[in-house]
Amino acid sequence: MGNINACVDLQRDGDVAVIVMDNPPVNALGFALRDGLMQAFARARDDAGVRLVVLTGTERAFSGGADITEFGKPPREPNLRQVITAIEDLPKPVVAAIQGVALGGGLELALGCHYRVAAPKARLGLPEIKLGLLPGAGGTQRLPRLIGIEKALEIIVTGDPVPAPAALALGMVEAMLDGPFPAAAVAWARQNATAPRRLRERTDKLEPARADAGLIDRVAAPLLKRARAQQAARACAEAVRAAAEKSFDEGAALERQFFMELVKSDESKALRHVFFSEREAQKVPNLPAGVEPRKVLRAAVIGAGTMGGGISMCFANAGIPVTVIETSQEALDRGLGRVEGNYNTSVKRGSITADEAARRRALLEGKLDFAAIADADIVIEAVFEEMELKKQIFRELDRHAKPGAVIASNTSYLDINEMAAVTSRPGDVLGMHFFSPANVMRLLEVVRGAKTSPEALATAVAVGRAIGKVPVVVGVCDGFVGNRMLARRGAQGERLLLEGALPQEVDRALTDFGFRMGPFAMGDLAGLDIGWRLRQARGTRAIVADALVEAGRLGQKTGKGYYAYGADGRTPTPDPEVEKLITDASASLQIQRRAISQQEILERLLFPMINEGARILEEGIAARAGDIDVIWLHGYNWPAYRGGPMFYAGLVGLPYVASRLEAFADASGDASLRPAPLLARLAASGEGFGSVGTARG
């Protein structure tokens, strides 16, 4: 027999029909694959010479699930539920032979088969909740029937994949096979797949929940508490409850209804946007075809301060030896001591073993001489934000780094081109802006200078990925993407205080929105002296923020900042002294304080930031709106279910954002609040930010 269609192949091995799914890259279950499966299974059913069927995929994926790009488009039959029912109804035994991932609809497909076997490296899961959905092709009904309510709930509500050995222990698969696929699965099927078995008809594993009415709530409660996408999490729990309490058909109908509702929810749209934007951000724009990253086997970091230490840890954690350079033994000892302390904390918390910490620590060496960078394939400068100092260091790096080494600055706002200009190799120079704490935060802004070579850029991106970061390529400007937008939010925060709000009110608007922290609690955590020093350097002022610093209130590290900090040094409490300081500042500027609604606070904080994002996009500093969203998600804890600032602007409507910005500009006389030309244009034409660059909507 030959090919069924472009995605499905049907082969014969004696009396066994082997149906192979091949829809690169991950066997997403789009229309052509579903249609091909329907035809292939009909042939296998009707062919009297076929006794057994083995369904398999590729080494990378049995199937990564429903094709997410089809959501929101008109449905085409056969739908996935029809395909799964046709397989489950087959009068001949069907074995799912899983290599790689079986996720979402992919696992649901395997649950429709009568038996499942897996390769040792396979991973099985129902990650729909991470897209703000629930499994919509019978997963909430069949998985509990296979492994019981408790484990099924955990897998569905966390969305975390289960590695093959654990799947075997749970009974998700009948066997783990080492041999080559599909031959090993065919051999197993001949021995073990004696008759069709339909999970739909099984109820024994549901008995404990049927006998104990409180069981589901007890198991679900802690899982729901931890879940991010709340609406989807509740739907998951209710669908599993239906599995226990109702018939299969009733449970499946309820699951279907929930799925149809969730797929239209803002939460799910946002999470799907994040999924695609994260992948798109990895595709560096304007890189000539065939450019290969250079090999990076050794790294060097200049400066053992908080950032330098954190960056060094990233390399050591990824198994890359790293040399840290400092100017004095004392500074070096202090820096390496802090790294040691971080590793000790990780060991105490149980996140790594003492052996692992020792292994990582051994990859880090401290030196006092620039000559020690000679072997490094990448050098990252992480010293004070002072251009003259940076230039001096770049001259040294130029002198000592080997030819072809990438030379990067961790600056958060200074001009990379100026640094590149003092070297003899500007093509190798770029920015690698890490976020604090550098060993934790996943964002890496890779700053492309005017002369940065494609190879150096590709190397920085590849290194970023290798050390577990989410690299996003940005252009040179003051503050790059993230901090340039943040500055707009900061200015409005200060303004809101002067007009009548208090720090806790401003912070609450953002925590209610979904941020873990508001801007003032965040400032206290980072240290208010950072912004103060920056303003001093630039000759600008922020009345409230400056007054706090000048009163010795530097944030958590001094026990007080915008808030007072109690005995634990971490819990913020509103402080009457700060309120007085703020109201005095308003009075000195003759501002009549007024009550400001939470809605206004939120819009005042977010919309000017979005406006700056529009300028960034128009200037080409970011290539796509999705890149800006990824930056906010991974560098500033923007809540994923809100999709990022540019996506959020689309949800509330660009015309609304533009009209509110006009109103803010009118009220304040601040012309920089007027809608950016791109925002005004898109608001008028009805298009979204997704139409700019190559981003999706």
Residues within the interface to ligand 3H9 (CB under 6 A): 25-26, 28, 64-69, 80, 101, 103-105, 108, 127-128, 131, 133, 135-137, 139, 279
Contacts of 222 (CB under 8 A, 6+ apart): none
Residue nearest ligand 3H9 (C-beta atom): 104
Rounded to a whole number of angstroms, the minimum distance from the CB of residue 161 to ligand 3H9 is 8
Report the distance separating Cα 430 and Cα 42, nearest Å.
Answer: 58
Q: Which is nearer to ligand 3H9, 139 or 626 (CB)?
A: 139
255, 242 Cβ separation under 8 angstroms: yes
Evaluate whether 657 touches 688 at the Cβ level (below 8 Å).
no
- The distance from CA 398 to its chain's CA centroid, rounded to whole angstroms, is 35
Phi, psi (rounded to 5 degrees) for 94 = -120, 130
Nearer to ligand 3H9, 34 or 400 (CB): 34
d(CA 634, CA 636): 6
What DSSP string describes 129-169? GGGT----SSHHHHHHHHH-HHHHHHHHHH---EEHHHHHH
Looking at beta carbons only, is 66 or 172 nearer to ligand 3H9?
Answer: 66
Residue 389 beta carbon to ligand 3H9: minimum distance, rounded to whole angstroms? 40
Sole residue written with tokens 């749970």: 170
Which C-beta is closer to ligand 3H9: that of 125 or that of 493? 125
- Shortest distance, position 216 Cβ to ligand 3H9, whole Å: 21
10 in Cβ contact with 17 (< 8 Å): yes
In a 10 Å sphere around its CB, with 0-12 CB exposed, 13-18 middle and 19+ buried, how is residue 235 labelled? Answer: buried
Residues marked active site are found at 108, 128
CB of 274 to ligand 3H9, least distance (A): 12
| Minimum CB distance to ligand 3H9 smaller for 108 or for 377 | 108
Distance CA 68, CA 70 (A): 5
CB of 278 to ligand 3H9, least distance (A): 8
- Cβ proximity to ligand 3H9: between 80 and 206 the closer is 80
Minimal distance in Å, beta carbon 63 to ligand 3H9?
8
Residues of 257-266 as b/e, b for ≥16 C-beta within 10 angstroms? Answer: ebbeebbebb
> What backbone torsions phi and psi does residue 473 show, to the nearest 5 degrees?
-80, 130
CB of 100 to ligand 3H9, least distance (A): 8
Closest to ligand 3H9 by CB, 271 or 605: 271
Q: Which residue has the tokens 């790059």?
A: 480
3-state SS string over 316-330?
HHCCCCEEEECCCHH
